[in-house]
């Protein structure tokens, strides 16, 4: 028997969600066959079999499990399924298989979470008796085996888990069992408040609806894995990075004329036309090569200077912000950057981008100019040293040689980690970006 564990599909991945199984339970699979589609903290990926055998599914669709937790087994001919091992000190079927958002916020790993499990039932029973009864087997007091998703769905529908027959491994209640119960009308009444006591006067009860009325009925939206990662990393950045910002208005008149020439050339050669954002990425890459600290990271009281210049480009995907990485942007031509940027942006928007394409960035560019935003301040993507926020490119009134003229200009804002980039260093770096865009022939290097 070969046990299949939740794989680590990216450096930052801590847990994954089984979106769907691509092979049926009991099916014979061989090395390289697609087994499951797994949602990580960055993207959805297809996981392939490393060995061959009969597939025995342990984790159901919709379940979220920690990296290393068993999700399936591959059985040899005539072999029977075995008990799944678990990295936690208690059986996997009787503990939450992945860290909850509350545990993640407190920095608890799944193992630590399991270690504190004996205290949890007492706290839950004291705080919410109805929730405790939903997770216990009526008459015996033992905990019903159920996936975390099934527990949430059952609690929301007012269904007692003890009333359901689990179809999962070893009788575990899974999402499908709860959905069948809801479809069949097996829903319990909402928990009723306890009888009023002397300590809780009945006059206070009618006030609850009145206090909730001004906001109306609240809709609770669960974060996706990507949204959870964004929230955690942005909070980490604002809490740990001493940042400062620099702004500069760049004269883009020469860049506009230069792009017109590139457009005519691209049409003749049937190439993608480099956008202004592609030109900004190239300008940043050349400046990063000249200023290694801007291409570095501050970590554990030391500077880490990265030999490769990998520029991340922020892309607005469905309900998420992804940052695909253009690798070795300093050595790529403007044409290559244009083609790669388009490919990555399309993959990010249609959900086919892979974790490696989102990893390894040493600097980031965020452009909101297409939305009519003149200037803004972006949040650093740790552990990078800086990020460039790009505003709209438009004709504006400026003074040139004592005359008021209309020229294409663009405002950029550089947010820096003051632990590795100091004011003068950052100013020189931003100046190098400005110079490359104002003399765009340099972008062809």
As annotated, the active-site residues are: 418
Angle CA 81–74–54, to nearest 5: 90
Residue 428: its H or E element = helix 423-438
Cα dihedral value 296, 299, 302, 303, nearest 10: 0
Cβ contact 345:324 at 8 Å: yes
Angle CA 263–266–270, to nearest 5: 140
CA–CA separation, 40 and 43 (whole Å): 5
SS3 276: helix
Cβ contact 100:109 at 8 Å: no
Cβ contact 2:53 at 8 Å: yes
Which residues have CB under 8 Å from 297's CB, separation 6+? 303, 304, 306, 362, 383, 384, 385, 420
Give the chain's length. Answer: 445
Beginning with the edge strand found earlier in the chain, give each strand of the sheet holding 325-326 in spatial order.
Answer: 243-251, 403-417, 386-400, 363-367, 311-313, 325-326
CA–CA separation, 25 and 31 (whole Å): 16
- The tally of CA atoms less than 13 A away on the side-chain side of residue 124 is 14
SS3 32: coil
Both structure tokens of 386: 């800086």
Nearest CA-CA partner of 277 in 248, 309, 314, 247: 314
Full DSSP string of 97-123: SS--HHHHHTT--HHHHHHTGGGHHHH
Full DSSP string of 373-413: -----PPP-TTBSEEEEEEEEEEEEEEETTEEEEEEEEEEE
- The tally of CA atoms less than 13 A away on the side-chain side of residue 155 is 15
């Amino acid at each position: 028997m070969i046990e299949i564990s939740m794989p680590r599909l990216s450096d930052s991945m801590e847990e994954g969600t089984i979106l769907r199984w691509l092979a049926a339970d009991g099916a014979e699979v061989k090395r390289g066959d697609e087994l499951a589609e797994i949602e990580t903290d960055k993207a959805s990926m297809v996981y392939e079999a490393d060995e061959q055998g009969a597939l025995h599914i342990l984790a159901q669709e919709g379940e979220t499990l920690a990296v290393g937790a068993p999700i399936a087994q591959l059985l040899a001919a005539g072999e029977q399924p075995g008990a799944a091992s678990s990295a936690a000190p208690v059986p996997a079927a009787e503990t939450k298989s992945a860290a909850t958002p509350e545990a993640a916020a407190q920095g608890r790993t799944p193992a630590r979470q399991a270690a504190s499990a004996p205290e949890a039932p007492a706290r839950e029973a004291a705080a919410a008796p109805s929730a405790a009864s939903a997770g216990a087997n009526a008459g015996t007091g033992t905990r019903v085996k159920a996936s975390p998703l099934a527990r949430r769905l059952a609690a929301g529908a007012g269904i007692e888990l003890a009333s359901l027959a689990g179809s999962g491994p070893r009788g575990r209640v899974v999402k499908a069992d709860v959905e069948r119960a809801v479809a069949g009308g097996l829903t319990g009444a909402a928990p009723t408040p306890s009888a009023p006591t002397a300590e809780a006067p009945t006059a206070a009860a009618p006030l609850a609806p009145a206090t909730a009325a001004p906001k109306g009925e609240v809709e609770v939206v669960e974060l996706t894995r990507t949204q959870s990662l964004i929230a955690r990393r942005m909070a980490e950045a604002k809490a740990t990075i001493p940042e400062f910002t620099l702004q500069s208005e760049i004269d883009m008149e020469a860049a506009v004329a230069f792009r017109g020439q590139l457009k005519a050339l691209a049409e003749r050669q049937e190439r993608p036309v480099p956008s202004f954002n592609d030109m900004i990425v190239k300008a940043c890459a050349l400046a990063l090569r000249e200023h290694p600290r801007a291409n570095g990271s501050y970590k554990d009281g030391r500077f880490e200077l990265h030999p490769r210049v990998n520029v991340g480009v922020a892309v607005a995907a469905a309900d998420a912000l992804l940052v695909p990485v253009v690798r070795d942007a300093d050595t790529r031509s403007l044409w290559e950057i244009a083609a790669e940027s388009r490919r990555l942006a399309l993959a990010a928007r249609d959900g086919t981008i892979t974790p490696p394409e989102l990893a390894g960035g040493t600097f980031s560019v965020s452009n909101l100019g297409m939305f009519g935003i003149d200037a803004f301040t972006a949040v650093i993507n740790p552990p990078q040293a800086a990020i460039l926020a790009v505003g709209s490119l438009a004709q504006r009134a400026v003074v040139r040689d004592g005359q008021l003229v209309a020229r294409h200009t663009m405002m950029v804002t550089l947010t820096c980690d003051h632990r590795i980039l100091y004011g003068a260093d950052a100013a020189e770096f931003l100046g190098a970006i400005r110079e490359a865009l104002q003399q765009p022939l340099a972008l062809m290097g």
